[in-house]
Amino acid sequence: MRYIGTTPNQYGDTLLTSDADDQINVKVAGAEDFRIAANTFEVQTGSNIDMNGTELILDADGDTSITADSDDTIDFRIAGADDFQMTANILSVLSGSTLNIDSGATIANSGTATGFGSFDPAEPGEIGGTTPAAATFTSLELNGFKIQVFDLRLRHVGGVLVHSFRADNGAGGAGNFVDRVNGVVDASETTSPTGTDGSTAMDAGGKICTVWPFDFILDTGDFAIPGNTIAISGQAETTAGTSLCCEAILAETDVNGTTIMRMHLRFSDLGDGSVFNINTTNIANTKRIGVRVLCFLPDLP
């Protein structure tokens, strides 16, 4: 054994011992407080390490550490930056840091979650707000299918049909929810392609179908699984003299050499259900038909 100090402790109760192979025992006031073994420093039961507000450095280059230099606050520094902080009953993820939940892990909440806002379909409020109001979304997807809301108009102009995609019943531009119909950039009218489907390209969002001339084919991505969508359309707007209905359907069509499952808008007579061919005979000069569509569309290729 070896006493601590320049002379043996008069009581003989503070000392280093090595009474076991490859082990050093640190005794203070007669009690073994710490033990040192190969590559190991052990704090014994009833003892502690008092950092006294200084930094406990954990890695070799000295930039990852734990400190408590403010009362009742623990800071976790990683790569030179404070990423997390603990105070009484609170774990804070600091600005620029991320709380990552790995696949297979679970967040279980049996208390109260705050700061997330609420969404009640009966009384929707803006997410994060406290007063019921119109809910505000910039995007909404279900299993990779994104919500789209737009008006399609087809108009007869001097012997040709033109089409356009519009928002808010024709007001403003094409709207915020038509980005998964290829080629729609604004509410401009474009001559509707009417050539044979298999050899005619779409333009500005679609074309008039030749296999089913009562369909307008939307230039969408491929509905690989037809059941993976929701589409709502209804009574069509018309100045053509016939009350129309429009049905959103999915059909596998070859357009300009590419065969995929696309969304079609199919027009029919609201009275007797007969099909309504989209042509300059049924839609007289200066007249138009149109429909508002709410649907979920797949990503574009």
pLDDT at position 229: 63
In the prediction, which pLDDT does 255 show?
95
pTM score, two decimals? 0.55
Q: What is the pLDDT of residue 127?
A: 46
The pLDDT of residue 173 is 54
According to the 3-state scheme, what is the secondary structure of the chain? CEECCCCCCCCCCCEEEEEECCEEEEEECCEEEEEEECCEEEECCCCCCCCCCCCEECCCCCCCEEEEEECCEEEEEECCEEEEEEECCEEEECCCCCCCCCCCCCCCCCCCCCCCCCCCCCCCECCCCCCECCCCCCCCEECCEEEEEEEEEEEEECCEEEEEEECCCCCCCCCCCCCCCCCCCCCCCEECCCCCHHHCCCECCEEECCCCCCEEEECCCCCCCCCCCCEECCEEEECCCCCEEEEEEEEEEEECCEEEEEEEEEEEECCCCCECCCCCCCCCCCCEEEEEEEEEECCCC
For the stretch 76-125, pLDDT in tens is 999 999 999 999 998 999 998 988 889 888 888 888 777 665 555 555 44
- pLDDT given for residue 124 in this prediction: 46
pLDDT at site 4: 46
The pLDDT, as a whole number, for residue 6 is 42
The pLDDT of residue 285 is 94
Q: What is residue 254's predicted lDDT score, i.e. its pLDDT?
A: 95
Which residues of the chain fall below pLDDT 50?
Answer: 1, 3-8, 124-128, 132, 170, 172
